[in-house]
Amino acid sequence: MAMKTPMTRKAALSAAALAVLGSLLAGCSAGSETAQPSPSPSTSAAKVTSQDLGKALDRLVFQGTGAKSTDGGACLVRAVQDKKLSDAAQAYIVGKGSDDIAAVANGLREVSAMDAAIMLSPELRDKFDACVDAVIPPTPAPGATTSKDGKDQVYVPPKQGQELPQARQPDLTPKFTVPQGTSINSSSQLTAGLVSTFSSYALNEDQKKTYAASGACLAGVVFQAGFSQETLRFLAGGAPIGAGSISDFLPKDEDKKIWKSKDFTSALVDCTASAKV
């Protein structure tokens, strides 16, 4: 897999919610479709032009790369429109004119929690990555060489003694003992476990601090979401999964659907975005 661009790396380091919505909440496009954006009185809901939106997204996404898009941001505009970012949210991005994706996502919470979730979703990040990679080619994988025309990559076997990096494997070993049959009757029983699991996905110490600070809030959201006792015990165990999506490892399909729902995703984003570190 190609390495992520500087844009994605900086964005991930600056917003703990990105990690939450990435590996932890993969599949957030499924679930409830009932939530509707509620434009802030300070945000114009008038539709902005594609040119203005392209310039604003160009500044937001290409920050820190020393480059800019070659199409005036048209690729980025298609990305946000394809993911159904509301007109009010698009107007907010243009009006904000920021190069800090974390600040924009936090501000969008005042427009719509749904728009904030979309802005931080792994699906939109992948689309942004593709737009950036079209301008800044991704770093070749180990053992690959690029031809003179910069197009074809040829695999070169590693030299003797040279090891290729191994993909991280999920760790499902519980950190805390939760005996089978134990009843989870309060959110406080989930706090330590959720902090442990979420922190295993953290990209830096700041994100770990964010998860610790938002632990009680996250536990409250999870406890009220309607998960089965089997899933609640699994989450209380605090396995340092650290790879893949948490929803992949939940024991019941019904619980997986809850974890992937937009309402649940938005609630967790609110917890991390409002955490006082």
Beta bridge partners of 144: 155
Predicted confidence at residue 159, as pLDDT, reads: 53
Beta bridge partners of 155: 144
Residue 154 lies in a domain: no
Could you tell me if 229 and 184 are in contact, meaning their C-beta atoms sit under 8 angstroms apart? yes
Residue 242 lies in a domain: yes
pLDDT at residue 56 greater than cutoff 80: yes
Number of domains in the chain: 2
* 115 and 45 within one domain: yes
* 197 and 129 within one domain: no
Residue 165 lies in a domain: no
| Mean pLDDT computed over 150-165 | 49
* 128 and 28 within one domain: yes
pLDDT digits (tens, 9 = 90+) for 181-201: 899 999 999 999 999 999 998
**93, 115, 133 - which closes a domain:** 133
pLDDT at residue 93 greater than cutoff 70: yes
Q: Provide the residue count of the chain.
A: 277
Around Cβ 180, how many Cβ atoms within 10 Å?
A: 6
In which domain, by residue range, is 46 found? 6-133
Average predicted confidence (pLDDT) for the chain? 75
* 104 and 26 within one domain: yes
pLDDT at residue 22 greater than cutoff 90: no
pLDDT digits (tens, 9 = 90+) for 202-212: 877 888 888 99
* 119 and 42 within one domain: yes
Residue 76 lies in a domain: yes
Predicted confidence at residue 138, as pLDDT, reads: 57
pLDDT digits (tens, 9 = 90+) for 61-88: 877 566 778 888 899 999 998 888 888 8
* 232 and 127 within one domain: no
* 10 and 129 within one domain: yes
* 24 and 114 within one domain: yes
pLDDT at residue 254 greater than cutoff 90: yes
* 199 and 127 within one domain: no
Residue 209 lies in a domain: yes
pLDDT at residue 176 greater than cutoff 90: yes
pLDDT at residue 32 greater than cutoff 50: no
**133, 153, 169 - which closes a domain:** 133
Residue 73 lies in a domain: yes
* 114 and 37 within one domain: yes
Predicted confidence at residue 115, as pLDDT, reads: 82
Give the residue from 97, 6, 89, 96 showing the smallest Cα distance to 40: 89
pLDDT digits (tens, 9 = 90+) for 212-251: 999 999 999 999 999 999 999 999 999 999 888 898 899 9
Residue 162 lies in a domain: no
* 193 and 124 within one domain: no
Residue 243 lies in a domain: yes
* 195 and 124 within one domain: no
pLDDT at residue 132 greater than cutoff 90: no
